[in-house]
Structure 1
Amino acid sequence: MTSTPNAAAPDVSGLSFEAAVDELEKIVARLERGDVALDQSIEIYERGEALKKHCETLLNAAENRIEKIRLDRAGKPAGVEPLDGE
């Protein structure tokens, strides 16, 4: 085991949300099958954790950008407000 287990693992910060989720699903499937050696299981689990954190970061950023459309009495858009601005 190396002193920096993630040194060889590619950085996840450049992945889109969809690509990260796809890779995470594949990791989960491999781990659930149970046919991976212990050392490799640890490495891919760590990769999965990095992917999970990356997805959470992307989701939080998207959530912060979402705005709720305000409608006037006639039902026409009258502007926007933050999603949690109630």
Structure 2
Amino acid sequence: MAEKKNPPSFEETLAQLDSIVNEMESGDLPLQDALEKFEQGIKLSRMSQKALEEAEQKVHILLNEQQQETLQKFTPDDTDA
């Protein structure tokens, strides 16, 4: 029976995405390789986004279980710039 491969962690996904970005920014990739890296980057980006959405959902569930306030939308302070 074949083992089911676990998906990479959020941190691993970000590291792979960072590596792809660095490779593509170098400008040394042939067009076909660049397209393949771009496609892989899109997949990794979607995986990361999904992981973040799942983490946010878990936080909401935990807050609801504790009957605490709901999360507020984050709005960055313009004064920090």
Q: Normalized against structure 2, the TM-score is what?
A: 0.69
Unmatched segments (≥5 aa) in structure 1 = 1-12, 70-78
Supply the AA of the counterpart residue of 2:55.
A
Change (3 A) 1:39 1:66: same
Q: Which has the larger radius of gyration?
A: 1
**Is 1:83 the counterpart of 2:76 in the alignment?**
no
Where does residue 76 of structure 1 map in the other structure? none
Q: Please state which structure has a larger fraction of its residues in helix.
A: 2
Q: 2:70, 2:55 → 1: CA distance?
A: 11
Change (3 A) 1:82 1:16: farther
Query: Would you say how many aligned residue pairs link Structure 1 and Structure 2?
Result: 64
Change (3 A) 1:82 1:20: farther
Q: Please state which structure has a larger fraction of its residues in strand.
A: 1
Where does residue 50 of structure 1 map in the other structure? 43
Supply the AA of the counterpart residue of 1:81.
Q
Q: Normalized against structure 1, the TM-score is what?
A: 0.65
Unmatched segments (≥5 aa) in structure 2 = 1-5, 73-81
Shift of 1:80: 3.8
Where does residue 11 of structure 2 map in the other structure? 18
Deviations along 1:44-72, whole A, 9 cap, x unmatched?
10000000000000000000111476xxx
Alpha-carbon RMSD across the aligned residues, in angstroms, is 2.3
Q: 2:54, 2:69 → 1: CA distance?
A: 13
